[in-house]
Structure 1
Amino acid sequence: MRDTTRRTFLRSTAAVAGLAAVPTIGAADRVWLSAETPVDVTLHDVETTAAGEYAVGGSGYVIERGEDSWLIAASGGPTGNGNNLYGSDVTDDGERLWFVGSSGAIGEYDVSIRDLTDHSAPNDVTNNFNDVAVTGEAGDANVYVAGDSGKIYYSFENGETGTWDSVTPGSGSNVNAIDFHGPRSGHAVDGNKTVFVTDDGSTWEEVGIADANYNFYGVDSDAPDDLTVVGGGGTVYHWNGSQWVREDTGDASLRDVELAGEAGLTVGGGGAVYRRDAEGWTREMTPSGSNLNAVVDADGIEVVGGAGGTVLER
């Protein structure tokens, strides 16, 4: 287990991540608000870094949350060809934002000096990449990429050329999401209703889910016995180390989830945002009916990204 997980970093550094410049209201009165963004492309993932919140999306756009509004941090993707970006993650120290997308796009963005490094097409692979997980600190990260071809590509040397390898964990169905809770320990889900686990970053085994009725699109890996998966039909599954516990939120297809203990958020189609507490999942009112793809909770602020450049903040 790494000493500082990404979520631990987010919680411990939210106060210094540039959030204080944005006015907030009392927790009891907090509501979801639409934020103005400089793009109208679909935003597929959101993260919190040492420099604040970022979102990635269509046409290679990377946008950042400034003091008063969202701004364009980069465009065109890591290759400059405008490849759509589908997934992102942050190093343990919050200094590097990694993102992946279509045609083998892989980028590493230094949020402190605003420098973008291109790691695209590892081993000349130009398949679509759906998600990425990184563990370790800036410049010394383990990088795991979920591929549309059913492969997981990984590098234990910060994505440097010649250090990539790959594995097919399941049937070859598209790997939709991947998340790690330790340097080489994590989970992934694919388009064949399957969940996989690894504890060495290179070999994977199936851990469920039997008789699942819907495909899976989001995964939150917090520990070997603390795993949450979301997918079609409003389905949420939680693995507690001995069994899968299923909960239903409604009809919306769910795309992302963040859960810590009994508290968490999941988002999906038609502007759906569900919050979980000790009583279960409850849908919250939002000012948007757009399909929502990603959520991040940094304690000080919650951010959701979706279609048409939609960003919701709470």
Structure 2
Amino acid sequence: MTDSPATHGTRRSVLKTTGALLAAGGLLGSTGTVAAADGWATAETPTDRTLHAVVETAAGAFAVGGGGDVLQRTAEGWTRVVDGGPTGNGNDLYGAATTDGGERLWVVGASGAIGEYDVLTGSMVDHSAPNDVTNNFNDVSVVGEPGDANVYIAGDSGKIYSSFGNGATGTWDQVTPGSGSAIEAIDFHGPRSGHAVDGNQTVFATADGGVYENIGIANANVNFYAVDSDGSDSVDVAGGGAMVHRWDGAGWTPTDLGDASLRDIELGGDGGYTVGSGGAVFEYTDGEWRREPTPTGANLKSVRRGETDIAVGASGTVIEK
């Protein structure tokens, strides 16, 4: 699978930049718990609240979760850099994404919470309640440079909210692409091209960021919770029943991984991961999925690949490899 040559701010486009900056700044030193070279190990964190998302940025890995917590991975360990979220009201944060290059971290969550955090300066801009919407936001995807990004948000009400003006007031549009079931996850591989999944076993594709087409998945029989969009003909979806579905532009290929409710999926040309309930981590290498042993039974919510691979989940759980 290949990324768009232009952008993919939500996921892998920041990894090269991140690696260079971290090597220069030494942020990938000891974090309190050192993972074995060939396996996962648990890292200490300053919270026991659920961590819902983890991303790579220009200043290392960040995780977001309950109570509006934003955590950063530093040489001294995981530390809380934001307490209370963008509004300060303690709304849970469910999704996170970065601008191209990883300098801005966008977060979304309960009661319409939206924030834009500068990982280099530590400043937070509150974009919450666009158009006075205070529904829960489940996920976010961002494409573009800091201050000039397209922002896409998955709403629990079944709507997708988009801003082509970096989240500024008056720049937000909304669309209900399906039946009104909650949009669980969203990911864009280009400025206006990407995919979303909802709670009605449906995958949507868009090429203009406004009109969404239903592209399946017929007879899936499981709920979808995660999507990884790498192109119009390269999409992976994960969900209940440990099912992963891959779209090649012509049709869907299902893979049954056994036993877990999968909550996130992260794939690239050289492999990747999907994670879920009961501490489940499956690695994709050499065209095959394999379950990896982990030191936790906690439900995992998100995974990201980087200089250090990281998965996060319930009770402030962070595992690293």
User: TM above 0.5, one fold?
Assistant: yes
- Is residue 5 of structure 1 aligned with residue 12 of structure 2? no
Aligned to 2:238: 230
Q: Distance in 2 between matches of 1:187 and 1:278?
A: 25
What residue ranges of structure 1 are gaps of 5+ in the alignment?
none
The residue type paired with residue 214 of structure 1 is V
Q: 1:70-85 counterparts in 2 under 5 A?
A: 70-85=78-93
- Length, aligned pairs only: 313
The share of aligned pairs that are identical, in percent, is 60
Q: 1:172-211 counterparts in 2 under 5 A?
A: 172-211=180-219
Aligned to 2:264: 256
- Whether the 8 Å contact between 2:18 and 2:59 is mirrored in structure 1 is no
- Is residue 116 of structure 1 aligned with residue 124 of structure 2? yes
Aligned to 1:87: 95
- Is residue 308 of structure 1 aligned with residue 315 of structure 2? yes
- Is residue 22 of structure 1 aligned with residue 29 of structure 2? yes
- Structure 1 position 12, deviation (Å): 4.3
What's the Cα RMSD here? 1.8
Distance 1:273 1:19, change over 3 A: farther
- Structure 1 position 13, deviation (Å): 3.0
Q: State the TM-score, normalizing by the size of structure 2.
A: 0.94
State the secondary structure of the residue aligned to 1:141: strand
Q: State the TM-score, normalizing by the size of structure 1.
A: 0.96
Q: Deviations over 1:135-193 (max 9, x none)?
A: 00111010001000000001000000111110001000000000000000000000000
Runs of 4+ in 1 over 3 A off after TM superposition: 18-21
- Structure 1 position 23, deviation (Å): 5.0
- Structure 1 position 243, deviation (Å): 1.2
State the secondary structure of the residue aligned to 2:88: coil
Q: Distance in 2 between matches of 1:92 and 1:145?
A: 17
- Structure 1 position 242, deviation (Å): 1.1
The residue type paired with residue 46 of structure 1 is V
- Whether the 8 Å contact between 1:19 and 1:52 is mirrored in structure 2 is no
- Structure 1 position 68, deviation (Å): 2.2
Aligned to 2:293: 285
Distance 1:238 1:203, change over 3 A: same
- Whether the 8 Å contact between 1:2 and 1:183 is mirrored in structure 2 is no
Q: Distance in 1 between matches of 2:270 and 2:20?
A: 23
The residue type paired with residue 110 of structure 2 is S
- Structure 1 position 29, deviation (Å): 3.5
Q: Distance in 2 between matches of 1:147 and 1:280?
A: 33
Q: Distance in 2 between matches of 1:21 and 1:261?
A: 24
Q: Distance in 1 between matches of 2:220 and 2:175?
A: 24
